[in-house]
Structure 1
């Protein structure tokens, strides 16, 4: 089973992530930020990940530390659950419409963290999360999981744009982690 349990504890947050890559989309998410919970529930459901996240953070200050540390812990869990990445598809992409919005995500579980993001949010906040922290979540996830993520989203409604983005990320991830063969998917012999 490709599972991982990660805990991240700082003076600002305490985060616990339990991830099963071979799940059915079940989730139990409580970060103290309802919009982040909603996005992570969507990630689990559409990525067919079983995901439990419990986070306590200094959301009375703002949402930054909680968003960042949840992304870092989730990325560490993803990296651990993938192990040596033997047999995985490795690269994938998805395009997801949601009403007025269209999101595109391409990713490579390459072992090399990098992000290229074109996120055109219009408002300062989406629910109880700062729009800039949606970008920060993707960047932090890419760094801690050591993956390459290219993502863009356009539309009129920031909520729809963020949700389409997380759904596209989920579908890309679901496809990229799929085991297809018995080899390391790299000419280097390791990822």
Structure 2
């Protein structure tokens, strides 16, 4: 079973994350930030990765800790579920259209965290979520999952569409990258014999 479970408790947040890479895209998400919930649900649905994410955070301060810590924990759980990464496709990419918007996401489960972010928003909030935190969410997931992650907004106007296209593109790229390739016979997809470092 390619599953991961992380409990992360600090003075700022209390988090439980569970993932199943071979799921059907079911989700049970409650972060206290409605739009973030919606995006994590989109990620689960379109990656076919089952996700449980429960967060109690210091939202009376602001949304930063809840956003960052939940992303760090989700990335950890995904990394745990991947194990030694034997047999995975490793690479994934997707073009993701949503009405007038088109996003492109490409990633490598390399074990070397890196984010290239070429996207932006013209408003400060989506629902109650600060849009400046969206890039930080992806940076945090990439950091703890060990992803080389490239996110580009090719064009778009509506901020909701932009964000959702990016998350759906990330989901589809992850779905491709975590798939087991039967031709690899369980081998780690690197000439070094390991990923990362």
Provide, for residues 146-190 of structure 1, a one-character-per-residue CA deviation record: whole Å limited to 9, x for no partner: 111000123111111000000000000000000002211001011
- For normalisation by structure 2, the TM-score amounts to 0.95
Is residue 2:120 matched to residue 1:120?
yes
Could you say which residue in structure 2 is the equivalent of 1:12? 12
Could you say which residue in structure 1 is the equivalent of 2:46? 46
Alpha-carbon distance in structure 1 between the residues aligned to 2:126 and 2:10: 25
Could you say which residue in structure 2 is the equivalent of 1:165? 166
Alpha-carbon distance in structure 1 between the residues aligned to 2:32 and 2:42: 16
Superposed displacement of residue 60, structure 1: 1.7
Q: Which runs of 5+ in 2 are unaligned?
A: none
Is residue 2:190 matched to residue 1:186?
yes
Moved more, 119-128 or 72-81: 119-128
Q: Secondary structure at the match of 2:168?
A: helix
Could you say which residue in structure 1 is the equivalent of 2:75? 75
Q: Which runs of 5+ in 1 are unaligned?
A: none
Alpha-carbon distance in structure 2 between the residues aligned to 1:35 and 1:120: 16
Alpha-carbon distance in structure 1 between the residues aligned to 2:10 and 2:119: 29
| Structure 1 segment 73-152 matched on structure 2, within 5 A | 73-152=73-152
Superposed displacement of residue 10, structure 1: 1.1
Superposed displacement of residue 59, structure 1: 1.1
Following TM superposition, where does structure 1 have runs of at least 4 consecutive aligned residues deviating by more than 4 angstroms? none
Q: Secondary structure at the match of 1:136?
A: helix
Alpha-carbon distance in structure 1 between the residues aligned to 2:22 and 2:107: 19
The RMSD of aligned alpha carbons is 0.7
Superposed displacement of residue 15, structure 1: 0.8
Superposed displacement of residue 114, structure 1: 0.2
Aligned length in residues? 191
Superposed displacement of residue 101, structure 1: 1.0
Alpha-carbon distance in structure 2 between the residues aligned to 1:83 and 1:31: 26
Provide, for residues 114-155 of structure 1, a one-character-per-residue CA deviation record: whole Å limited to 9, x for no partner: 000011211111111111100000000000111110001231
